[in-house]
Amino acid sequence: KNQVEQSPQSLIILEGKNCTLQCNYTVSPFSNLRWYKQDTGRGPVSLTIMTFSENTKSNGRYTATLDADTKQSSLHITASQLSDSASYICVVSWIANSGYALNFGKGTSLLVTP
């Protein structure tokens, strides 16, 4: 079972509208949470990265929130543009004894229409 669940799976909104994407995780102990944007046929691009002590972080029209107690994060997109159409991926890392530990959600596919 994936330790990072995203919702909705897909979303269609009109240009100019706002939207919120959700991410729930069960990873523990938690290190940080990232949101990536992945355009079709491209590699993911980082939007925000938050540690457990941060509640919110903004990057232009993108604002991520984190509730480490409930293990939930959201990504809010304001005044959407056609170029926001992409997959948005939530990635959670945890503190491992050794090596590397990142867990990717399946992503939310966002389509912004004129």
Cβ proximity to other proteins: between 44 and 66 the closer is: 44
Among 33, 27, 4, 15, which Cα is nearest to 110's? 15
Sketch the per residue contact string, 4 through 33, with other proteins: x for CB under 8 A, - otherwise.
x--------------------------xx-
Cβ proximity to other proteins: between 4 and 19 the closer is: 4
CA distances from 109 to 7, 43, 53, 58, 88 (A): 10, 15, 28, 20, 6
Region 28-47 residues binding other proteins, contact defined as CB under 8 A? 31-32, 34, 36, 41-46
Region 83-102 residues binding other proteins, contact defined as CB under 8 A? 89, 93-96, 98-102
The answer for residues whose C-beta is within 8 angstroms of residue 25's C-beta and 6 or more apart is 3, 4, 5, 33, 71, 72, 73, 90, 92, 103
Task: Give the residues lining the site for other proteins (CB under 8 A).
Answer: 2, 4, 31-32, 34, 36, 41-46, 49, 51, 89, 93-96, 98-102, 104-107
